[in-house]
Copies of this chain bind each other. A is one copy, B any other.
Amino acid sequence: MLVQSTTQTAPPGYEPSTAARILEVRTVPYAIPYSKPLKFASGSIAIADNVLVEIVTSDGVVGIAEAPPRPYTYGETQASIVAVIEQIFAPAIIGLSILDREQVRSRLARTVGNPTAKAAINMAMWDAWGKTIGTPVHSLLGGFTDQLQVSHMLGFDDPDVVAAEAIQLRETLGISSFKIKVGRRPVHLDVAVCKAVRGALGPDAELYIDGNRGWTAAESALAIRQLEDVGLSRVEELCPADDVLGRRWLVSQCPIPFVADESAPTPADVTREILAGAATAVSIKTARTGFSDSLRVSHLAEGLGIEAVIGNQIDAHIGTVCSLIFGASQEITARSAAELSNYLDMADDLLQEPLLIENGRMRVPDGPGLGIRLDPEKVTRYRVDL
C-alpha cells in the first residue's frame, strides 16, 4: 500500500532514465565506540551507532553512505532509520535509475522528517553513480577545489584541558580553526575556556563558539560581550530559535555572523530563520541534507547573500568524507574551515584506508564515487542486531 501511494508522484508517462537501476537498498546498523566521548549542551556521544546504507544497482555497483541517529536533534534512532528505509523508502525507489535523484527526492518527501535516512539514500545514489562511471562525486558536484581547511570541535571540559587539546591538535595535525562548545551555566565557565584557548593559541587561530541552544538570549548577549576581546569569527545557536523574540533581539546586536544550524535544517527553514532575523549565516550538514539538498541550501544561502559553513553532525568516517566532498565542490562552502575532525575520537572505522589531516587540511579522495572503500571484515565486526 505504501508503494502504491508513493509511486503516484510520478507524472503520467514518466519513464525512468536509462542509467543503472536501483536493485536493492540495504541497511547495516553498526556501533563503534568513541575513545573520547564528546559532551555538549544538547547531549553527549559515547558511541557511533550509525546506519550504513548501501544501494545496489543493476550493474552490480554498490553505493554507500551513512546515517547518524540524532534523537535530540531530528528525532531519529538507529532503529527508526533502518525501519523507514526498509519499509517505506526502499519499496518506493527500487526500479528507478540511480540518476533519478529528483524523482527519488519527491517520493521520499511524502514521508515527513527522517532527514538523515533520506540524506544517506541520496548520497549512496551519488556514490553509486560515481563508481559506475569511474568519477569522483566531488567532480560531479562541480569541483570548485580539491581540499578544505579543517576546523576541530572542542567539547565541554576545564579551561586548561581544552586549551591543551587545541595545542595538541595544532602540533600534531596543523589545525588552527576551532569550534568551542558552550552553553553551560554560569556563562563564565565557557568564557574562561574561550579565553584559555585564545591565550594558548595566540591571535592567528580561528575560534568560534556553538551553544547548542544551551543559554538564554540574555546569557548569550552577556557571553558575546565578555568574549569581545577573544576575537571570535562567528557564533552558533547560542539560544533556542523558539525563543523567537529573544533570539531576534540577540542576533540584531551580534557583531559577528550568527549561524543557524539545527534551527534551519531545510531550505524553507533557512528562509524563515534568516528573514525573521534569527540568524545571519547557515550551517550545511550533508548528514541531514545529502548532496542534492545541500546544493539547495548552499544555492539558497548564496542567493540570499549569507555565509554557509560545513558543520559536523558528529560524523563518523563515511559522513566526514561526504562533508569534505560537498564542501570542496562549492565556492561558498570552500571559503571557511569545515568541521571534519570528529572522527578522530572514534576507536575504529569501517574503511580500508584511514582518513588523513595534514597541515590542518583534508584533501578530497580521488577515487570514483566517494573515493573510499569499506573493509568487509570491519563491517562484520561492528554490525549490530537491532
- In the complex, the chain B residue whose C-beta lies closest to that of A16 is B143
Interface string of A145-160 (1 = CB under 8 A from B): 1110000000000000
Give the number of times this chain occurs in the complex, counting copies.
2
Instruction: Judge whether A102 is part of the interface by a CB distance below 8 angstroms.
Output: yes
Q: Which of B17, B271, B331 contacts A304 (CB 8 A)?
A: B271
Instruction: Judge whether A303 is part of the interface by a CB distance below 8 angstroms.
Output: yes
Interface string of A101-116 (1 = CB under 8 A from B): 1110110000000000
CB pair A99–B147 under 8 Å, yes or no, is no
Residues of B within 8 A of A102 (CB): 141-144, 329-331
CB pair B135–A13 under 8 Å, yes or no, is no
Binds B, one of A31-39, A63-71, A242-250, A293-301: A293-301
- In the complex, the chain B residue whose C-beta lies closest to that of A147 is B13
Count, chain A residues at interface, CB 8 A: 50
Instruction: Judge whether A59 is part of the interface by a CB distance below 8 angstroms.
Output: no
Query: Given the complex of chains A and B, what is the CA–CA distance between A305 and B272 in angstroms?
Result: 10
Asked if A133 meets B133 with Cβ closer than 8 Å, knowing A103-B143, A143-B102, A329-B102, the reply is: yes
Asked if A143 meets B303 with Cβ closer than 8 Å, knowing A17-B136, A295-B295, A331-B106, the reply is: no
Given A11-B145, A97-B139, A100-B143; 20 other pairs, CB 8 A cutoff = A16-B143, A17-B138, A18-B366, A19-B135, A99-B135, A99-B143, A100-B139, A100-B142, A102-B144, A102-B330, A102-B331, A103-B143, A105-B142, A133-B133, A268-B303, A268-B305, A297-B303, A299-B299, A299-B300, A303-B303
List 9 contacting pairs A-B, 8 Å CB cutoff, sorted by A: A14-B146, A17-B139, A18-B366, A100-B139, A102-B143, A102-B329, A102-B330, A133-B133, A267-B302
